[in-house]
Amino acid sequence: MTTAYWCVLIAGLLPYAATLSAKGGSRFDNHNPRAWLAAQTGWRARAHSAQLNGFEAFPLFAAAVIIAHHLGAPQPRVDGLALVFVAARVVYLGAYIADLALLRSIVWFVGIGSSVAIFLAGS
């Protein structure tokens, strides 16, 4: 498997790290988890929002990697851009939880930009 494919797996699992941090170390209500999460404030609410954004960003990235591979894009370029995406998402998650809005926005653009660049790598 290519590095980019491993990055798809990692990117697909990253949102769960955010939700585990939102739910961990608290009196999480597993009988009604969505209502419990909706009632959270502060860093727990931000961790939940980071989880949702991770699921929103993932399809574009995964599709870009698959399409670039299908089109025969240069694998080192796709791998490098996929690593950029994963790194941006890790920083994004930390910045969101820490309430660093400007950094969060910058790395969001880096992540989306790397997904677009992966698409373009195949052309």
Looking at the 3D structure of the chain, how many domains does it have? 1
**What's the CATH code of the domain at 12?**
1.20.120.550
pLDDT of residue 25: 74
Q: Tell me which residue of 80, 62, 89, 85 sits closest to 3, measured CA to CA.
A: 80
Q: What percent of the chain has pLDDT over 70?
A: 100
Residues 40-95: tens digit of each pLDDT: 899 999 999 999 999 999 999 999 999 999 999 999 999 999 999 999 999 999 99
Alpha-carbon distance of 19 to 51, in angstroms, equals 6
pLDDT of residue 28: 79
Residues 6+ apart with CB under 8 A from 65: 4, 5, 7, 8, 78, 82, 118
pLDDT of residue 52: 95
Question: What is the domain range of residue 16?
Answer: 3-121
- Residue scoring higher pLDDT (60 or 35): 60
Residue whose structure tokens are 């939940």: 48
Position 29 confidence tier, pLDDT thresholds 50, 70, 90: confident
Alpha-carbon distance of 29 to 40, in angstroms, equals 12
